[in-house]
Amino acid sequence: MTQPKYDRAQLEDLVLQMMETELGGEKIYRAAIATAINGDLKEEWQGYLKETLHHQDVVRGLCATLGLNVDRQSPTRTVVGHIGKSLVQAIEMAQRNALPAAAQIVAAECVVLAETKDHSNWELLGRVAEVATGDIGKALRAAHEDVEQDEDHHLFHTKGWMRELAIQGLGMPAVLPPPEEVKQVETAIGASRAEQARSSML
């Protein structure tokens, strides 16, 4: 029987990091929603929070397939948890000390940082899913297919919100909702095209 072309221990560590990322993501979105003053952005993040709760369940399912305790810690998971708590603290600090519009931008920046890690996690899981076999391979592919589009949406759309809110904060014309939202961007190429088209949407 051909051996899987991946390191099982590293896959388990990745899944533990993913669990921590999704748990931290919930707290980051709750803090960001409390900071949002743009109604469309608040509604967008509320949808992302709901999807993040679903992603937690998906990763719990992966833990069960791999025989992992969902609460098991690892050095890298601890780091992920530390970063997540720091992002929540940053949002709360801005909420206390900055003007509401500036705090909203900080919240968007923190969401982008969190979603960059989250997006990377799922991208790496997809790479393993391409070579994994048997029940593990099926579980990885099903999980990746379930979540991948959500993660693309979370990252690319919030990057657009962050950019346009920052431009607005500088006193310049902004496109709100951002082009990524209007054009329903789901890929990096689509995000790049949407940003390039923003001047025609002003």
Query: For residue range 16-68, what is the model confidence (pLDDT) as tens digits?
Result: 999 999 999 999 999 999 999 999 999 999 999 999 999 999 999 999 999 99
pLDDT at 202: 80
Q: Locate all alpha helices (DSSP H) within 98-133, ordered by sequence.
A: 100-131
pLDDT at 35: 98
Mean pLDDT of 152-161: 95
**Higher pLDDT, residue 190 or 178:** 178
pLDDT at 3: 59
Residue 129 banded pLDDT, cuts 50, 70, 90 = very high
Hunting for tokens 């305790």 — which residue is that? 69
Whether the pLDDT of residue 184 is over 70: the answer is yes
pLDDT at 144: 98
Mean pLDDT of 6-11: 96
pLDDT at 4: 59
- DSSP, res 201: G
What are the phi and psi torsion angles at 56 (to 5°)? -60, -45
Q: What is the share, in percent, of the chain residues with pLDDT greater than 90?
A: 87
Integer Cα distance of 126 and 141 in angstroms:
7
* pLDDT tens digits for range 70-110: 999 999 999 999 999 999 999 999 999 999 999 999 999 99
Architecture of domain 8-201: Up-down Bundle (1.20)
Is there a contact between 115 and 158 (Cβ–Cβ < 8 Å)? yes
Whether the pLDDT of residue 128 is over 80: the answer is yes
Integer Cα distance of 180 and 164 in angstroms:
10
Please report how many Cα atoms fall inside a 13 Å half-sphere around the Cα of residue 156, on the Cβ side: 23
Closest CA to 73 of 12, 123, 117, 150: 12
Integer Cα distance of 164 and 133 in angstroms:
44
